[in-house]
Structure 1
Amino acid sequence: MLHEVQFPSYNERDTVCGWIYVPAAKPKGIVQLIHGYGEHSRRYLHMISAFVDAGYIVAADDHVGHGKTAMMNNTWGDWGDKGCHTMMEDEHALTGIVREKYPELPYFLFGHSMGSFIARDYAAKYGAELTGVTICGTAGVFRGAGEAEEELKAVVDSGHGDEADPSYAGKLLGWMCERCESSALGNEWICSDPYVQKDHAEDPFDAFTKPTLNRSLYYFTQMMRVITGKEWAEKVPASLPFYNIGGDQDPVGNYGQGLYEVSNWLHDTGHQVQTKVYPGYRHEIHNYADIRCDVEQGIIDFMDSLI
């Protein structure tokens, strides 16, 4: 069964589009899937199907400025003007909708890339409501984010927040193909499979190649700041377990170093955290045909162990 839902965004302007996938059998839990920067939630259909087959309800939406939400509101790359917690608060609003339909089930988050940043922000504010969190393709200290934040703040403060200067996105993300043998599309860092690269580049719901507003990029850098260091981890309930996964050739995770930074922040503040690094794989470990079933089963095993 599939529910399509819509709800008002925290930015007080947009309507967020979401979906709730429900297994035919009695569900044993709920996992809320949070997609990354520039993409949309239907890129995770293989994972969603695996979770549903394992007995989990799956909730997902398209963030403001992304996917169907952006198409419906005509706001590609525009996240509104209510700050860096906008997407996190929208995810919590979706949780409320799902909880109303299916109360009292164990509740998990899965977040990939920027979705993992949102999940970490969510855990710091609303972690007491969760059973466990999987973060995939996450970052520790994000390269260049601090410098970009200062520069973008000046641009926004000078009245250019509603403009889109691609050079700022280039500074934040343009270096990510540095270990790729070729970069014809510019997205090769996500996965070494040419099929995944082509599908990503040609997806009409994918805003990755569309300009992101300067203000939105500023919020992105702020988001990184609020989830960095032991200061972030100390805000997360110590009883909330984490499963931290990624590839050691992922530039977002600084080729493995960033994954361990996050796990160490959590470990040093008394949290239970499991870490699994996939050697030789880039950003989207869940989109490699040879390991995606293993990636999905690892997440399912983590959730099953907490029920």
Structure 2
Amino acid sequence: MNAQERFITSPDGHQIPLLCWVPGTDSAEPASRVLIIAHGMAEHAARYQPLALWLNQRGVAVYAIQHRGHGPHCPPEQRGHYADEDGWQKVIDDLAQAVQHLRSEHPGLPLSLFGHSMGSFISQAYAQQYGNDIDNLLLCATNRIDRLKLSPYLGLVRLIKRSRGKHHRSPLIDRLSFDAFNRQFAPNRTGHDWLSRDAGQVDRYEADPLCGFTCTVGLWNDFIGGMLSLNPDQWRKDLPVHLMAGDQDPVGEMGKGFKRHIANLRKAGVCVASERLFEGARHELVNETVADQVWQHVYQCLVYSKP
């Protein structure tokens, strides 16, 4: 079963693609809850189909948004680029519009938001602005906001953007980010060993033309600036937040940054409903060798009831 696809029109005329997996007549249960997925950087929503179909069998209607600059409908010249102006806010507002659409389609059902990596930061920004519109927030492969590191990194990105333009794709930025992550697993079999211990999943990522592209400095400017705008003091305090990561994920500083993020959320009074580090797992938890455990954990987070 492949996903159905629909499009929602944003105020600026952008067509927001939404992939839909809804329990059908062959499912064990009818839809009793809703999950919307915000994917990571340089990948796309269809990669979450195995998880979505597994959740369908447990009564979860799953939807995955294609972020701007990603997915099969994005022109190649725009791939890896949010927008020329206000890209970060537009991506957040796209997600808000998708959530409103799903609320109207599934009235009364609990709705959870799952964000992976880049999507986890988009989801946090969404929760900061629209937290009353969701019932549960799941953050996967996320990290603390290290301002001492991110601020000079943003300065470098803006310097390159001024000299080369917002559509420039910088090999230097790639070396400082994804290449640096991968070097932690040297000697490397591929350029993306850091994603998963499952070699088959890494090979599928590398063979996918919609994955692994270099993003523009315009996107990096929006993304890092967006991360620096996150402030959990402004979050809705009774929103249950579930955090999960691999303890060998370089994005989460091999678990150290992930734990500091949780401590910072608790200090801000955020309701940290659950936290879990998967031993030995790398960045893409849902595609790891322990994917069955991860999927089960995701489901447990979805059915979480506040005490």
- 1:91-110 alignment to 2 at 5 Å? 91-110=95-114
CA RMSD of aligned residues (A): 2.1
Quote the residue 2:280 is aligned against.
280
The C-alpha deviation readout for 1:186-233, integer Å capped at 9, x for no partner, is 111111221111100111222x2x232111111121122123xxxx11
Counting aligned pairs with the same residue, the percent is: 24
Quote the residue 2:301 is aligned against.
302
Quote the residue 2:198 is aligned against.
193
CA contact (8 A) 1:31 1:57 kept: yes
Partner of residue 51 from structure 2, selected from 43, 47, 53: 47
Distance 1:49 1:160 in 2: 41
Structure-2 change in CA distance of 1:126 and 1:284 (3 Å): same
Is 1-10 or 101-110 further displaced after alignment?
1-10
- Give the number of equivalent residue pairs: 298
Distance 1:55 1:91 in 2: 23
Quote the residue 1:7 is aligned against.
8
Q: Structure 1: where are the runs of 5+ without partners?
A: none
The C-alpha deviation readout for 1:137-160, integer Å capped at 9, x for no partner, is 001135843222112223334561
CA contact (8 A) 1:20 1:98 kept: no
Q: Structure 2: where are the runs of 5+ without partners?
A: none
TM-fit CA distance, 1:112: 0.7
Is 251-260 or 157-166 further displaced after alignment?
157-166
TM-fit CA distance, 1:7: 2.3
1:80 equivalent in alignment to 2:83: yes
- 1:160-171 alignment to 2 at 5 Å? 160-171=165-176
TM-fit CA distance, 1:57: 1.0
TM-score by length of structure 2 reads 0.90
Distance 1:79 1:295 in 2: 30
For 2:40, what is the secondary structure of its paired residue?
coil
1:118 equivalent in alignment to 2:154: no
The C-alpha deviation readout for 1:216-265, integer Å capped at 9, x for no partner, is 111121122123xxxx1111100001110011110000000121122112
Distance 1:100 1:192 in 2: 40
* Amino acid aligned to 1:16: I
Structure-2 change in CA distance of 1:287 and 1:39 (3 Å): same
The C-alpha deviation readout for 1:1-24, integer Å capped at 9, x for no partner, is 9542112346x3642211222113
Distance 2:188 2:82 in 1: 28
Distance 1:165 1:179 in 2: 21
Distance 1:182 1:85 in 2: 39
Quote the residue 1:258 is aligned against.
257
Is 21-30 or 117-126 further displaced after alignment?
21-30
Distance 2:134 2:278 in 1: 26
Distance 1:152 1:80 in 2: 16
CA contact (8 A) 1:191 1:287 kept: yes
Distance 2:264 2:16 in 1: 32
TM-score by length of structure 1 reads 0.90
